[in-house]
Homo-oligomer: A and B are copies of this chain.
Amino acid sequence: MRQKAVRVNINDVAAVAGVSKQTVSRVINDRPDVSPETRKRVKEVIEQVGYRPSALARSLTSKRSYTLGVVIAGLKYIGPSTLLNGITSTAEEAGYCLILKELPSFVYDDIEPIFEELISRQVDGIIWGVSEVGENRKRLKKLLFDQKIPLVYLTMEPKKHITVITENNYSGARLAVTHLLEQGYQRVGFLSGPLEWWEARQRFKAWKDVMSEAGMEIQDTQWVTGNWSSASGAVSMKKLLEQYPEMDSIFVANDQMALGAMQVIHEKGKRIPEDIGVVGFDNIPESAYFWPALTTIQQDQGRVARVAVEELIKIIESGWKGLDPVDPHSILLEPTLVVRRSSSRFQD
């Protein structure tokens, strides 16, 4: 006598409770039209036999999976993983499950299979959490032209007819450069991220704008680019120190590169902030413990994530309830400046 390991299903519950499976269905869906006694009995049976509805079967018939697809890249970096952290907790609270897809790289092009897989698993909506890099949105646009699945984008240039949630990189970077000028620094260099990245371009533009608004002409010797890593920060900083020896301060486009840059400054025997002031971007948890502690721009990725999931669910559920469709719109969140010792030239 072999014990078949079959899970209890709705029919079993119905049989034991002596009702039809529709009634069981009504109970598990909290529908009103069940008499209190029946409901109670069914619930007891459910408890007793350990019945758990199959989310799969429910999704198949009801066309709602309560599942969101999340597409992301670079999970091993702090930005994307913090973002994902915020997405998981907000989705969980709202009762949604997550299917995760990580692209092999930021500029990965073959995204059609990704979408098809998510759609074939009937996700109710998609969060596109891959930063805008190079042309990596182009195929996306084409692909989604006739897709009508709810979709929210993160970290890209806000555009008409789509929903984008992002930090305002431009205004954040303006805070950084303005702060250095206010501290009395005059010759502010710039260590940029790769300019294929939208975020990097925004930060670059802010540096240029603030400097020229302050009456300084930007030279090409006054900035260099890295690839966001500490290693590249070190390499690029060496180069910049050579080509712009008068530099008295620097805005670095992320904290990791700032760390590499600071190591080089130490090695050259210069003092931070006395000889060179440094401001980073992102406020990673470690930056408060750099030597010296790093002034930086605080991005609240958790908030981006939360808002994104909330917006996505709004779009999804307005569709279900036959409400007016939610108009596509973008939300820009404002970063803040965190002042620490690396830019505080005139403090004790």
Residue among A59, A98, A230, A289 with max Cβ neighbours from chain B (10 Å): A289
Known A55-B117, A97-B99; judge A286-B89 contact (CB<8 A): no
Task: Report how far A120 CA is from B51 CA in the complex, Å.
Answer: 10
| Complex copy number for this chain | 2
Q: Which of B55, B76, B89, B117 contacts A102 (CB 8 A)?
A: B89
Contact A88 B76 (CB under 8 A): no
Contact B85 A102 (CB under 8 A): yes
Counting chain A residues whose Cβ lies within 8 A of the other chain, the interface size class is 35 or more
Residue of B nearest to A301 (CB): B76
Q: Which of B67, B75, B116, B266 contacts A85 (CB 8 A)?
A: B75
Distance in Å: Cβ of A2 to nearest Cβ of chain B: 14
Known A55-B121, A56-B121, A122-B54; judge A76-B65 contact (CB<8 A): no
Q: Tell me, yes or no, whether A36 is within 8 Å of chain B by CB.
A: no
A-B contact pairs, 22 of them (CB 8 A): A53-B120, A55-B117, A56-B120, A60-B60, A76-B81, A78-B78, A81-B81, A89-B102, A89-B104, A92-B101, A97-B101, A97-B121, A100-B100, A230-B285, A230-B286, A230-B289, A233-B289, A234-B289, A260-B289, A263-B290, A263-B293, A266-B291
